[in-house]
């Protein structure tokens, strides 16, 4: 998160106490210290924010751009520690109320403005799907009160909550974490200074250095271990990031780390820049992060800060001080705040597309909004005399009042749209209980429905498709959870046929449909689901705890299957799962072999397997397009959304006792695929089917399973 502090630097540690301008203790000293500005640190902010923004606009081209946030953490640790240490040295204490008031005046105005904008957007069903309303309101509230990182940490273990699009304020996690740093860091330094005075003969600086060093080492160890054991929440947890602030703090506290030698500064600075460029283009979503890999961008940023010599124009300190870099650094905070909500909202705006020209135009709009916010919000509010001339608590109480106002607006967004949300939920339930004739897949697969035309009908409506999902989430194992959780539905009769439904989220998306099928046909349905972990014996290419958990889950499922009395197995999986190619010519061959190996454990017992070719996977949720455009305008080229070589199809081909279902012709025509089939809205996000559409495939699922049950070979 870009900090808004632009006037602090390492020089703060070297200024004698007599140069400090003292303010009355009951005032909020906006300008209590002489302004100190470090141009190359401001330029480093430009690198950081551009990494994040370009990553969000073009994730495939800048796959490691998320490291920009790590750069900001190092910068904040450096600047804030320098400021606090200078005050401690000069006065023996830190006036916490004034420190926090200053942070509030600098950070809250722009932050709350963007949150207010997001809360107003959420009120409009034309700009935001109604199905997203609960998550949006919850996260706006969490962001307003600076606990968004903890909200995401607690919910990141839910694979389902992150299978679709994130909210407009998800990027506030880093702002929340940094605000927590602003609360804890001065308290730590005060405690260390007190210890230094009481037990170490007044050695405040040494006590602070040792304390922050211990905290940083412990935080790094915690980060590495937590990333290996539970990577999703590890990304957001505050203590797992403290070491990055600590690295910046060490540069501020140890003068020897600020390199002024010309040659050393030149080499160190450019090495840091090259490291940041390298990780931006080589890190990606599969990198175990933060963990030990976060040390690269963290140390790269630290190297740039530490390089202090400015003698030659070709030194990084001088290049980063050029006006373009300074301008981007100046607006970095507002640019960070604005860019993400606009990316989320833009596809829902009428007449707006996702072409390269639209993206570039949107990027330009982000820069304009950031400059306007800096010019007319950040700077003026920071110097408001009505706040700076009064006690610190005036600023703090005013900040709390402003936060409450934003929270009330977000709550109003829920109150205004809750009736519509509840009505949409009821409409979906009624639709599933009583669908129209020749609806959905039947319009393609049922010969008697050739002449059916639903016109512009889309059911469920695009604004509600996101909530049309299975409800038994307790049956779905997520992320690093390796437990082979099983659920049972349908008939309790001892002689009822037992059908197993196994796989990843593309198997779980069929759960509600299969529950109805089990009830109607007298089966007992047994399930095993794990997010992003198909029923396959080939290890995932995903490193770390998630890949290990998938392997353990599969082993547990195989053990459970070996002990279970099953009559047929149905499995499904997303075709884009990354498999390890170890021991095979390609990851495709490895995936095919893994499917066959997993299936053989039941086929060898005479239990038939039914599987299905994966549905198309879209780049973004097609409901964004459907809310503002005609259905025909939302079609996608078949080659863009359909995996040509689904390893599951190849695995089933020619294999005895395996039935392969292929509904590709339902989703797609010769050259294109549509998000609406026979009036049914096919997708609830970019790759998962709505329950409503899955239900329209039930007759063909039922037929294949009944056929498989009839061929079951008695043990």
3-class SS at 292? helix
Whether 459 and 679 have beta carbons less than 8 Å apart is answered as yes
Whether 691 and 513 have beta carbons less than 8 Å apart is answered as yes
Provide the Cα torsion 391, 397, 402, 404; round to 10°: 180
pLDDT score, position 480: 80
Whether 52 and 333 have beta carbons less than 8 Å apart is answered as no
Whether 125 and 420 have beta carbons less than 8 Å apart is answered as yes
Rounded distance, CA 558 to CA 537, Å? Answer: 10
Angle between helices 39-57 and 295-306 (to 10 degrees): 150
Whether 498 and 524 have beta carbons less than 8 Å apart is answered as yes
CB half-sphere exposure, 51, CA atoms < 13 A: 31
Instruction: Report pLDDT digits (tens) over 411-446.
Output: 999 999 999 999 999 999 999 999 999 999 999 999
- Euclidean distance between the first and the last CA atom of the chain, given in angstroms as a whole number: 61
Place of tokens 């695929």: 673
The answer to whether the peptide bond before residue 406 is cis (omega within 30 degrees of 0) is: no
pLDDT score, position 133: 92
Taking alpha carbons only, the member of 48, 461, 551 closest to residue 280 is 48
pLDDT score, position 713: 61
pLDDT score, position 75: 97
Residue 508, beta-bridge partner list: none
Exposure string over 362-387, b if 16+ CB within 10 A, otherwise e: bbeebbebbeebbeebbeebbeeeeb
Largest CA-CA distance found in the chain, in angstroms, rounded: 93
Whether 119 and 183 have beta carbons less than 8 Å apart is answered as no
Rounded distance, CA 167 to CA 128, Å? Answer: 10
Rounded distance, CA 618 to CA 354, Å? Answer: 13
pLDDT score, position 12: 33
Helix H or strand E segment including 488: strand 486-490
CB atoms within 10 A of CB 327: 15
Q: Which residues of the chain have pLDDT under 50?
A: 4, 6-35, 158-163
3-class SS at 579? strand
Question: Phi/psi at 368 (nearest 5 deg)?
Answer: -65, -45
Q: What is the DSSP letter of 261?
A: -
Instruction: Report pLDDT digits (tens) over 496-509.
Output: 999 999 999 999 99
What six digits make up the tokens of 219?
Answer: 């935080």
Whether 594 and 434 have beta carbons less than 8 Å apart is answered as no
Place of tokens 């990354």: 578
pLDDT score, position 231: 83
Whether 400 and 144 have beta carbons less than 8 Å apart is answered as no
pLDDT score, position 712: 75
DSSP per residue over 157-179, as a string? Answer: T-GGGGSSPPPTTTTHHHHHHHH
Helix H or strand E segment including 673: strand 672-673
pLDDT score, position 11: 30
Angle between helices 262-282 and 39-57 (to 10 degrees): 10
pLDDT score, position 166: 86
3-class SS at 6? coil
Radius of gyration of the chain (CA): 29
Exposure string over 233-244, b if 16+ CB within 10 A, otherwise e: bbbbbbebbbbb
Rounded distance, CA 470 to CA 455, Å? Answer: 28
The CA–CA distances, whole Å, from 96 to 88, 93, 209, 253, 486 equal 11, 9, 20, 20, 53
Rounded distance, CA 538 to CA 536, Å? Answer: 6
pLDDT score, position 7: 39
Q: What is the DSSP letter of 376?
A: I
Whether 479 and 486 have beta carbons less than 8 Å apart is answered as no
3-class SS at 683? strand
What six digits make up the tokens of 607?
Answer: 């239990």
Taking alpha carbons only, the member of 662, 665, 697, 694 closest to residue 681 is 694
Whether 13 and 252 have beta carbons less than 8 Å apart is answered as yes
pLDDT score, position 21: 33
Residue 540, beta-bridge partner list: 579
Number of H helices, E strands in the chain: 29, 11
Q: To 5 degrees, how large is the angle CA 325–CA 368–CA 404?
A: 105
pLDDT score, position 216: 97
pLDDT score, position 486: 97
Angle between helices 39-57 and 323-330 (to 10 degrees): 70
């Amino acid at each position: 998160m870009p900090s808004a502090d632009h006037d602090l630097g390492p020089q703060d540690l070297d200024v004698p106490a007599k140069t400090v301008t003292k303010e009355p203790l009951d005032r909020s000293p906006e300008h209590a210290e002489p302004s100190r500005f470090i141009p190359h640190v401001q330029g480093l902010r430009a690198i950081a924010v551009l990494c994040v923004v370009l990553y969000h606009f073009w994730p495939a081209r800048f796959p490691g751009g998320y490291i920009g946030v790590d750069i900001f953490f190092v910068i904040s640790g450096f600047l804030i520690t320098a400021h606090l240490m200078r005050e401690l040295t000069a006065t023996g204490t830190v006036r916490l109320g004034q420190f926090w008031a200053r942070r509030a005046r600098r950070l809250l105005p722009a932050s709350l403005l963007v949150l207010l904008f997001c809360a107003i957007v959420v009120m409009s069903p034309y700009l935001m799907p109604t199905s997203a309303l609960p998550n949006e309101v919850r996260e706006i509230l969490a962001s307003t009160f600076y606990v968004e990182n903890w909200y995401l940490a607690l919910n990141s273990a839910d694979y389902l909550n992150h299978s679709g699009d994130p909210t407009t304020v998800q990027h506030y996690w880093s702002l929340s974490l940094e605000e927590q740093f602003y609360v804890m860091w001065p308290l730590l330094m005060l405690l260390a200074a007190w210890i230094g005075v009481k037990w170490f003969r007044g050695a405040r600086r040494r006590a602070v250095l040792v304390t922050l060093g211990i905290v940083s080492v412990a935080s790094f160890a915690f980060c590495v271990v937590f990333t290996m054991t539970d990577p999703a929440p590890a990304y957001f947890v505050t203590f797992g990031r403290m070491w990055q602030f600590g690295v910046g703090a060490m540069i501020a506290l140890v003068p020897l780390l600020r390199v002024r030698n010309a040659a050393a500064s030149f080499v160190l600075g450019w090495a840091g820049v090259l490291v940041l460029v390298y990780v931006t283009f080589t890190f990606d979503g599969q990198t175990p992060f933060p963990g030990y890999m976060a040390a690269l961008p963290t140390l790269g940023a630290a190297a740039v800060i530490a390089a202090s010599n400015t003698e030659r124009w070709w030194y990084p300190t001088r290049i980063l001080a050029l006006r373009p870099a300074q301008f981007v650094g100046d607006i970095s905070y507002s640019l960070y705040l604005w860019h993400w909500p606009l990316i989320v909202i833009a596809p829902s705006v009428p007449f707006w597309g996702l072409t390269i020209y639209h993206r570039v135009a949107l990027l330009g709009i982000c820069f304009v909004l950031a400059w306007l916010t800096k010019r007319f919000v950040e700077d003026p509010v920071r110097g408001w005399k009505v706040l700076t001339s009064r006690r610190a608590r005036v600023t703090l109480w005013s900040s709390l009042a402003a936060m409450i106002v934003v929270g009330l607006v977000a709550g109003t967004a829920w109150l205004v749209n809750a009736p519509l949300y509840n009505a949409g939920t009821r409409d979906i339930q009624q639709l599933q209980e009583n669908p129209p004739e020749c609806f959905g897949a039947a319009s393609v697969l049922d010969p008697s429905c050739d002449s059916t035309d639903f016109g512009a009908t889309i059911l469920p409506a695009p604004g509600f498709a996101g909530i049309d999902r299975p409800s038994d989430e307790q049956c779905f194992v997520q992320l690093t959870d390796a437990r082979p959780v099983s659920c049972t539905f349908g008939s309790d009769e001892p002689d009822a046929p037992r059908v197993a439904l196994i796989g990843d989220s593309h198997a779980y998306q069929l759960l509600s449909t299969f529950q109805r099928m089990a009830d109607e046909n007298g089966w007992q349905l047994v399930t095993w689901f794990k997010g992003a972990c198909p029923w396959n014996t080939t290890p995932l290419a995903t490193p770390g705890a998630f890949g290990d958990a998938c392997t353990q889950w599969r082993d547990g499922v195989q053990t459970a299957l070996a002990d279970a009395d099953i009559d047929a197995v149905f499995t499904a999986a997303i075709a884009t799962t990354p498999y390890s190619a170890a021991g095979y010519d390609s990851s495709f061959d490895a995936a095919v072999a893994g499917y066959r190996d997993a299936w053989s454990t039941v086929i060898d017992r005479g239990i038939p397997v039914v599987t299905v070719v994966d549905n198309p996977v879209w780049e973004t949720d097609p409901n964004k397009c459907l809310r503002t455009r005609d259905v025909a305008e939302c079609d996608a080229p078949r080659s863009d959304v359909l995996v040509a070589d689904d390893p599951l199809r190849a695995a089933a081909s020619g294999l005895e006792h395996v039935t392969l279902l292929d509904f590709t012709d339902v989703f797609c025509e010769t050259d294109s695929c549509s998000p609406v089939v026979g009036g049914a809205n096919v997708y609830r996000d970019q790759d998962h089917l709505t329950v409503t559409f899955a239900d329209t495939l039930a007759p063909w699922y039922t037929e294949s399973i009944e056929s498989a049950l009839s061929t079951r070979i008695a043990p």
